[in-house]
Structure 1
Amino acid sequence: MAPIPVLLLLLVSLLLNYANAQSNHSNVIPLGSSLSPDANRTSWLSPSGHFAFGFYPQGDGFAIGIWLINQNNYTVTWTANRDDPPLSSNSTLDLIRNGLWLLNGAVNESSYIDNEPSGETASAAMLDSGNFVLSSNRSVVLWQTFDYPTDTILGGQNLSNGNQLVSSVSGSDQSSGQFSLRMRSDNGNLVTYPVNSLDPTYDTFWSSGTNNSGSDVILTLNRSGVLFLSGDRLGVRILATSHYHKKNGAIIHRATLDADGVFRLYLHHFESHNSSSMLVEWSSLANQCEVGGFCGLNSYCSGVGNNGQCNCFPGFDFVNTSNKFLGCYRNFDDNGCRHSKDPATLNSSTFSLKNMWWNDYPYSVLQMKEEDCGISCLEDCNCAAVLYTDDGCAKYQLPIRYSRVSKNISATAFIKVIQKNITTHPIPLPPETVGPKVLTETKRGPILILAITLGSISCLCFIFAIYTLFRYRHQVYRYKSLSDNANLGLIEEFTLRSFSYNELEKATDGFKEELGKGSFGVVYKGTMSGGNKTIAVKRLEKFVEEGQREFRAEITAIARTHHRNLVRLLGFCMEGSRKLLVYEYMSNGSLANLLFKAEMRPIWKDRVRIARDVARGILYLHDECEVHIIHCNIKPQNILMDDTWTAKISDFGLAKLLPPNQSRTAVEAEETTGYFYLAPEWKKNALISVKADTYSFGIMLLEIICCRRSIEVNVPTPDEITLSSWVYNCFVAGELEKLVEDENVDIMTLERMVKVGLWCIQEDPALRPLMKNVILMLEGTMDIPVPPSRVV
């Protein structure tokens, strides 16, 4: 229970805030008002002029949001539809009776903000509190930005259990970043963790340390700068208090989950319109390196305070030297370990790093001495690194996450490295033989010594020459063998091989065995020279001869995508109008065959895993690869299964290879079954975004759940012909078991997957979730509201 004086202080503060809110004048915005980046009015100001609502520059276009106007720049406090593509300069935002409507150029008109059905909008206002509101003709607030925070809460704003803060990518990019702050519903603990975490409980790197199990907890920032938690059982727990004592001018407080993952309380002091200052009054963490995920995979954070630096482990290089936060990749190949009878005899070693720690799951923990810990990793092909602590020797596989070094950490890390070049040592000469002393002086003595010396040197040079010749021939033979097998280790991983048409014609036996046919061409099975590597060769159609340089650039961009759920591109052929792509061979066919043609449907657990695999692959294409890719053709026929039954996406990036006037036609000209995966935007000739892939994934997710096509004619009742309508009717009626008859399924997982699928196939792209939220919902780490009935 909080002390009585503290509660009284907070009560008085809240009453003052309420009184200030009631007297908070605003510039009333009447119906018919509009904003545009190209117009004279680009924003609506609050009465004090400290806040503005409207268009602000982002990327190569504009976004709509609220920002705090500083002396020389602006601080964004809220963004609408923050993950949508930038808006064009000729966009307009109109205030009408149904709310705020956005016309994005001359392409797509949609309701930007949907009002509650309690009444029609009569006016809007940008308040001095930083809150933008839509009101009825009776001054009833129908909608306000304070109810939908992005990465910031302002003075007088609350964060309840149902909401969260998600950091921005950077100070100049307000789209969703990689960190989340939310209230845990099970115990009322305020926590921060990476948004892509599979286990937020384990990956939490900061918490408020509160426990209010069984009751809602609210985070509040009042206008006096007090940041506190309150709940029925918790009482009041103060996190931070402003200590700024200057009285002249206006003071505005904000609490922001910054791009680096640290939750901070800021104070802005406006002495006049031409003079302002900003102070950081509190930080959840004193060191950026304490943020889980501040540095990318296989890298570690070093530094103190706000000067965190990312470094690669020994044997690793940065994925992108200009953006070190993307992590590192291993610069050597250890495939030889699994083919060696004694891995310890390989040219490998361990580098020890003192004061190192990472927050990840070990696959083995052994009790042994520190000097034996690193050796045990050398003898284990699965081991990439070990962490030695008082609890024992913990072994880890790649990737290594959430690593940092600090003098306060007592653990020691051992990183396994396989040397690229074997260092040769000179052969030691045998010691001089001591013979009987020759007392008689002779002139042949010096000559004999000189002859022996020159002979020895000549012999060593001859031996070295023979050794060099054999080593050179061995390296040439090894390189040729690796090239013939198309298995170039690290080089293959980051470069493409250029094939001739004759090579591929020979590899496919004259393009004899057809594996499948899609909108971009026919795929044939082939075998590389040597006969020990099977490949898939796609003959591209509808591609013109012009643009050879552009074609090579696009293929190179596709080759830079590396993910376990993407089919890997190995090489290409480009000879005039002949254009072919070489992919890794997927031995278990397509997901369509598995769902619709197999004698026995896949078990439920496998279907859940496949759905998550596909979602992770799409997320990588949309957000995580170097060149963001909209697939435009997600369907079961383009999901292939490898020899371990891992789902991998194929044909990604190919839509960009077609001429602009053919790309839409090629996708829309899909076979009859492919047509039903296209989002409504395709049929309306509207702007295509990543949400088009979300729609296609939603249709396919429902097919994965039910193991049937989206449209089936041979069904017991007419209601079951269209899968999406039948699924929604079963969901509303509480009869989801009809979708998976005679199967043992987890009903909670089934309901979660159905709700996700129904959200993904909403006709309005703005209602469809982003793929990273789809993954969170599929994994059960994000609440899923009841989907509306408007599906197509």
Structure 2
Amino acid sequence: MASTSTYTVFFLLSISFTCGGAQTQQKQCSHPIRLGSSLHPTIIPSSWPSPSSQFAFGFYSQGNDFMVGIWSVGIDNNITVVWTANRDDPPVTSKATLKLTKSGKLLLKTDEQGKEKPISTTSETAFFACMLDSGNFALYNKNNSIIWDTFRCPTDTILKGQMLPPGGQLFSSVSDTNHSTGRYRLRMRYDGNLVLELANSVDDASEAYWESGTGGYGKEYDSKFSLDLNDAGILQIINSTSMESVQNFSSLESNNSKTIYRATLDVVGVFRFNMEWSAFEDRDLCKVNGFCGFNSFCTLNDDKPYCACLPGTDFVDANHESLGCVRNFAKVGRCRGGKDNITTTQNMMWNDIPFTKEPISTKEECLQSCLEDCNCEAALFTNPCCQRHKLPLRYVRRDTSTGTLAFFKVGKRSWNETIPVKPPVIEFKSKKVIVQILVLILAFIAFSFLGLGISGVYMFKIRVLRYKRLKESEILGLTKGLTLNLFSYDELRRTTNGFKEELGKGSFGTVYKGALYKGKKLVAVKRLEKLVEEGEREFRAEMQAIGRTHHKNLVQLLGYCAEGSKRLLVYEYMSNGSLADVLFKGVRHPNWDERVRIALDVARGIFYLHEECKAPIIHYQTRTFTMVRGTRGYLAPEWQKNTPISVKTGIICCRRNMDVNASILEEIVLFTWVYKCFVARELDKIVGGEEVDKRTLENMVKVGLWCIQDEPFLRPSMKSVVLMLEGITDISSPPCPTNIPM
């Protein structure tokens, strides 16, 4: 699997080569477009037509807005879009302007504020433009030579006289009415092979779902083979140096000058040439990995492919079935005091790695093992083996040759739940009866609002009263045993210059920068903003927990303010910023030795909080079993399961747990990616190829994987973590954490 950076560079280089490497035949312009010419979406003319009016360049409608592109005009003035400018940008409004400026630039002014975007990619100055009868829109220099044209930057279509060079690509559209980049790609590989593949697939021949079979003619990055739709209407792969044909796909050879020849990669991933030939049958799309999204599979209806959800799931968006499906029932299971039903489906297959795989000889045993496993959501029985999986599943398909049995958990009604019966329809024909019903409904609504208002006032008074009691009874004993400074509110307001410089914001308050003792000591002042009981609980919990901690790796609480309803906490100021700033926002990431030291210091600090301080703290809170606090991905699974917590609760990592910008699916969830790299012995990927001590890297990864085990008894204590990181204790190889989707 190629790395994210490698794939991104390849993708960008491919796009650049496509827009700059195509050979464009020089065409004379009989109807030049002069500098200073402009178009508007709703003012005629809104386009520049070719001399024969078969093609036009300008604004076309997309919903209620407009895009810039080229289209052919067919029977009854129906248009077929063959090229779109900046296709992945949002559509523009009727206020937009397309202009060939007097300085020789083709620009799109997107709004009245004057924001402009270039259409062409050339840095040369144009002297005029032309919409040619071939369907090519070109910019010319003062020597009447083409300096940029749309034939060099195809989107989903090539036209007669157009060539797709080595490395050139076509990308399908999202739909027939949305011409943004879709899910499929046609690529002229450097080895001479023409392939169809998913748009986000890596540069691997195994990813293709159709190929021309002409591979091996060219050499990598030295290929001379192109896809050509020539002037005679022949679609073929040719040697672009000798112009000899390697393979012909079709031959229309019509003498009708009005015939429009085009080869298009359509929205479902089929490459078609007019109505004569297609590279891939619609019905075979079920063989394409990724044609359907997560938790769905491809099936045929009248030989047309469509996506269907697995049992117990529904579409994320019924209008976009390729987005996949999600579970449609609340997870119950025997571990939660309920029961699930199991649905059996034959001849299903998928390629995901199971979290458990064991030898089982009968389908009944496999079904029962999944039913009794809280983590099992689907199971696959292939005699004599039973694989248990979590959702989501990908690349699910039907295969009658396998003889497999798939089991899926679905929801189950409770014993006293009745099936809803559709009530009889009652029709009222008397106007008097209708008026009486309306009066009753309005009276009911009025009394409901009145009751809600009275209840709200009553509840508010109760909460305020409870808050006053909290102030009177607990503030005096709040700092017992603590050596903290008491500040007035006015003093802290002056210290922070009127709460001017904000350092950060949390769920209960905002932190401001301040200076005590005439600016000699910088502090961080946290002002709690939630009212009544929640803010008071937060204030007391933080005072009692952090006020008793003293450790070099922990921030020190210096004082507080409890004046009326105002609650503030004063901490020492960390001039170097937070650990998150160092890891994620710095211009330079910490080197390897610094990262090892940081991990060890963090572990020592957490060990102190867990076991050495007088009031042990478990990941942000004191030893309580109340509110769940913190960020998902950095908390132990016990928090999310509402089960008792222990001193083993604590997770450290060196990258954000979720990175939605990662282009490779496996790298989005950090620990999924790390575990797979660990199993594959490819740990150098997670440090980006940086020179590090491999043994130390492996030990740190092992420690991290032990710390995220789903079962509490498997996770080491923080004392053990410190010993392992210090190299005092040997580290065994960790099992696969069951909370990681494989």
1:50 Cα deviation after fit: 1.3
Match of 2:292 among 287, 295, 305: 295
Note if 1:281 corresponds to 2:287.
no
Partners in 1 of 2:148 and 2:589 — Cα distance?
Answer: 51
Match of 1:75 in 2: 80
Contact 1:374–1:386 under 8 Å retained in 2: yes
Match of 1:134 among 139, 142, 148: 139
1:107 to 1:424, Cα distance in 2 relative to 1, 3 A: closer
Contact 1:261–1:291 under 8 Å retained in 2: no
Match of 1:153 in 2: 158
1:230 to 1:299, Cα distance in 2 relative to 1, 3 A: same
Note if 1:310 corresponds to 2:307.
yes
Contact 1:357–1:411 under 8 Å retained in 2: no
Partners in 2 of 1:394 and 1:120 — Cα distance?
Answer: 64
Structure 1, residues 262-281: CA drift from partner, whole Å, max 9, x if none?
2222x2xxxxxxxxxxx353
**Which secondary structure state, in structure 1, belongs to the residue aligned with residue 32 of structure 2?**
strand
1:417 Cα deviation after fit: 0.6
Match of 1:40 in 2: 44
Structure 1, residues 689-709: CA drift from partner, whole Å, max 9, x if none?
xxxx99xxxxxxxxxxxxxxx
Match of 1:420 among 412, 422, 427: 412
Partners in 1 of 2:631 and 2:406 — Cα distance?
Answer: 39
- Which residue identity is paired with 1:264? R
Note if 1:57 corresponds to 2:53.
no
Structure 1, residues 90-131: CA drift from partner, whole Å, max 9, x if none?
2211213432022223223435135544x4211111112211
1:282 Cα deviation after fit: 1.5
1:205 to 1:376, Cα distance in 2 relative to 1, 3 A: farther
1:188 Cα deviation after fit: 4.5
1:314 Cα deviation after fit: 0.8
Note if 1:105 corresponds to 2:111.
yes
Match of 1:93 among 85, 94, 98: 98
1:330 Cα deviation after fit: 0.9
- Which residue identity is paired with 2:323? L
1:170 Cα deviation after fit: 0.7
Match of 1:168 in 2: 173
Note if 1:523 corresponds to 2:507.
yes
**Which secondary structure state, in structure 2, belongs to the residue aligned with residue 303 of structure 1?**
strand
Partners in 2 of 1:211 and 1:338 — Cα distance?
Answer: 55
1:247 Cα deviation after fit: 4.9
Partners in 2 of 1:130 and 1:179 — Cα distance?
Answer: 23
1:535-546 matches, cutoff 5 A = none
Match of 1:384 in 2: 377
1:740 to 1:46, Cα distance in 2 relative to 1, 3 A: same
Match of 1:545 in 2: none
1:349-498 matches, cutoff 5 A = 349-358=341-350, 360=352, 369=361, 371=363, 374-375=367-368, 377-378=370-371, 381-387=374-380, 395-405=388-398, 409-422=401-414
**Which secondary structure state, in structure 1, belongs to the residue aligned with residue 507 of structure 2?**
strand
- Which residue identity is paired with 1:229? I
Contact 2:335–2:374 under 8 Å retained in 1: yes
Structure 1, residues 414-454: CA drift from partner, whole Å, max 9, x if none?
132144325599xxxxxxxxxxxxxxxxxxxxxxxxxxxxx
Match of 2:728 in 1: none
Partners in 1 of 2:360 and 2:91 — Cα distance?
Answer: 56
1:392 to 1:38, Cα distance in 2 relative to 1, 3 A: same
Contact 1:591–1:641 under 8 Å retained in 2: no
Partners in 2 of 1:66 and 1:312 — Cα distance?
Answer: 38
1:227 to 1:600, Cα distance in 2 relative to 1, 3 A: closer
Contact 1:151–1:165 under 8 Å retained in 2: yes
1:500 Cα deviation after fit: 9.1
Contact 2:71–2:82 under 8 Å retained in 1: yes
1:144 to 1:239, Cα distance in 2 relative to 1, 3 A: same
1:115 to 1:209, Cα distance in 2 relative to 1, 3 A: closer
1:74 to 1:600, Cα distance in 2 relative to 1, 3 A: closer
- Which residue identity is paired with 2:281? L
Contact 1:24–1:128 under 8 Å retained in 2: no
Match of 1:191 in 2: 195
Partners in 2 of 1:326 and 1:357 — Cα distance?
Answer: 20
Partners in 2 of 1:63 and 1:104 — Cα distance?
Answer: 10
Contact 1:388–1:411 under 8 Å retained in 2: no
Partners in 2 of 1:207 and 1:502 — Cα distance?
Answer: 73
Supply the RMSD in Å over aligned alpha carbons: 5.2
1:69 Cα deviation after fit: 1.3
Partners in 2 of 1:123 and 1:162 — Cα distance?
Answer: 30
1:259 Cα deviation after fit: 1.6
1:142-291 matches, cutoff 5 A = 142-185=147-190, 187-197=191-201, 203-212=207-216, 213-214=219-220, 215-216=222-223, 217-230=225-238, 236-238=245-247, 240-242=249-251, 244=252, 247-248=255-256, 250-265=258-273, 267=274, 279=275, 281-287=277-283, 288-291=285-288
1:218 to 1:394, Cα distance in 2 relative to 1, 3 A: farther
- Which residue identity is paired with 1:106? E
Note if 1:592 corresponds to 2:597.
no
Structure 1, residues 704-751: CA drift from partner, whole Å, max 9, x if none?
xxxxxxxxxxxxxxxxxxxxxxxxxxxxxxxxxxx9998679xxxxxx
1:145 Cα deviation after fit: 0.8
- Which residue identity is paired with 1:420? K
1:620-635 matches, cutoff 5 A = none
1:399 to 1:138, Cα distance in 2 relative to 1, 3 A: same
TM-score, normalised to structure 1, is 0.49
Partners in 2 of 1:264 and 1:391 — Cα distance?
Answer: 45
1:596 to 1:155, Cα distance in 2 relative to 1, 3 A: closer
Match of 1:561 in 2: none
Contact 1:53–1:65 under 8 Å retained in 2: yes
1:280 to 1:355, Cα distance in 2 relative to 1, 3 A: farther
- Which residue identity is paired with 2:163? N
- Which residue identity is paired with 1:281? W
Match of 2:656 among 647, 650, 675: 647
Structure 1, residues 220-242: CA drift from partner, whole Å, max 9, x if none?
23344433334599985436214
Partners in 1 of 2:277 and 2:167 — Cα distance?
Answer: 27
Q: Which runs of 5+ in 1 are unaligned?
A: 1-17, 268-278, 341-345, 426-498, 527-536, 542-588, 608-637, 653-692, 695-738, 746-792
**Which secondary structure state, in structure 2, belongs to the residue aligned with residue 320 of structure 1?**
coil
1:67 to 1:744, Cα distance in 2 relative to 1, 3 A: farther
- Which residue identity is paired with 2:97? T
1:373 to 1:48, Cα distance in 2 relative to 1, 3 A: farther
1:23 to 1:649, Cα distance in 2 relative to 1, 3 A: closer
- Which residue identity is paired with 2:109? L
1:518 to 1:219, Cα distance in 2 relative to 1, 3 A: farther
1:710-725 matches, cutoff 5 A = none
Contact 2:126–2:139 under 8 Å retained in 1: yes
**Which secondary structure state, in structure 1, belongs to the residue aligned with residue 260 of structure 2?**
strand
Q: Which runs of 5+ in 2 are unaligned?
A: 1-21, 418-458, 479-500, 511-526, 532-577, 597-629, 636-650, 663-687, 695-742
